[in-house]
Copies of this chain bind each other. A is one copy, B any other.
Amino acid sequence: MSKINIKYLAKELNLSISTVSRALRDSHEISGETKKRVFDLAKRLNYQPNSNASGLRGQKTKMIAVVIPDMVNDFFSLVISGIEKVTQEKGYHILLHFTHGDHELEVSFINTLASGRVDGVLLSMSSEDNDSHHLAELNSSGIPLVLFDRVSECVSNVKVTSDNHESSVLATHHLIEAGCKKIAYLQVHKNIPVGKVRMNGYLEALQQYSAQKVPLVLECTNDNDETFELIQKMLVAEKPDGVFASVEKLAVVCYRVCEKMRLKIPDDIKIISFSNLHTAALLNPSLTTITQPAFDIGETAAKELFNIINKKNRTLAGDNNNVVLQSRLIKRRSTARY
């Protein structure tokens, strides 16, 4: 066992525990000479402060929790990379937790965090949104919380999102301009704000720009095989000439369905999707995407969180506590005119 603690250093140097502690924290109360002795020995013995002890005493754990649904798509991987860039700079660590879209898991984990395990929380919510009671409780525990992407309307915390509504309008408009007369919308997460907002963008764009009077919305599930069947049935029954996938994996499944049904993309059907797939350009055909600034979202959310942790209340967000970042529409072959 590693027995090199402050007490040991103190004994070794004929100093008191408090002096060593202060020296290590570079306190002005300690003479330069003493500090140097302490630093040197600490380095020589590879002293590492016990984080539980300092966390217990000082309420500073040097850790933030990142709570996300899962990591099945490239979006969250990029977000985490962005978060990590910031935590790395700040000397912080990431406590990672997946909710798997299970609201109960989210609640129980958030509750766990309220006990002071971390200095702050970054959260992208699970599917259900009606109940944000646990977030209120976390807030009242005094632990800073920043939401990103899948946010809740019920709390007033800082939120970092992307311009889902405009992007969704833009995407739908792009399909219409490409000649689509009947556009299907593949949806999942209809209960969380981001899901609603994206669909509203689709609906509005139809009303505004298209002759298509009746929207075509397909509710998909979290099970890929099931979704495959659903999409196939829909394509057979409705024969849309455009598909707007609200999340990446639906586009992937849709590609598979089209392959099976021998539908030519983009000749028979055009596809656009919200996606951070880094292979989008290499797909067959290359996939037109609305690409969220995932890395930026993570980086921004982390910075906002540290602003709160460090009590600099200057936030990038305005009074409404919202930071909205721009997505990009990247046109590729899957929506080419012919």
B283 and A115 contact, CB distance less than 8 A: no
Q: Inside 8 A of A278's CB, which chain B residues have their CB?
A: 252
List A residues at the B interface (Cβ < 8 Å): 1-2, 46, 48-53, 55-56, 61, 63, 66, 70-72, 77, 80-81, 84, 88, 93-98, 111-112, 114-117, 137, 140-142, 252, 255-256, 277-279, 281-286
A50 and B95 contact, CB distance less than 8 A: no
A95 and B93 contact, CB distance less than 8 A: yes
> Can you report 26 A-B residue pairs in the complex whose CB atoms are below 8 A from each other?
A1-B142, A48-B111, A51-B116, A51-B117, A52-B61, A66-B96, A70-B81, A71-B77, A71-B80, A71-B81, A72-B77, A77-B77, A81-B98, A84-B96, A84-B98, A93-B96, A93-B97, A96-B96, A252-B278, A256-B282, A277-B279, A279-B283, A282-B283, A282-B284, A284-B284, A284-B286
- CA of A88 to CA of B99 in the docked complex: distance in angstroms? 10
Q: A48, A70, A93, A279 — which one has the most chain B CB atoms within 10 A of its CB?
A: A279
Give the distance to chain B from A85, nearest Cβ to Cβ, in Å: 9
Q: Inside 8 A of A49's CB, which chain B residues have their CB?
A: 115
Q: Inside 8 A of A112's CB, which chain B residues have their CB?
A: 48
Give the distance to chain B from A323, nearest Cβ to Cβ, in Å: 23
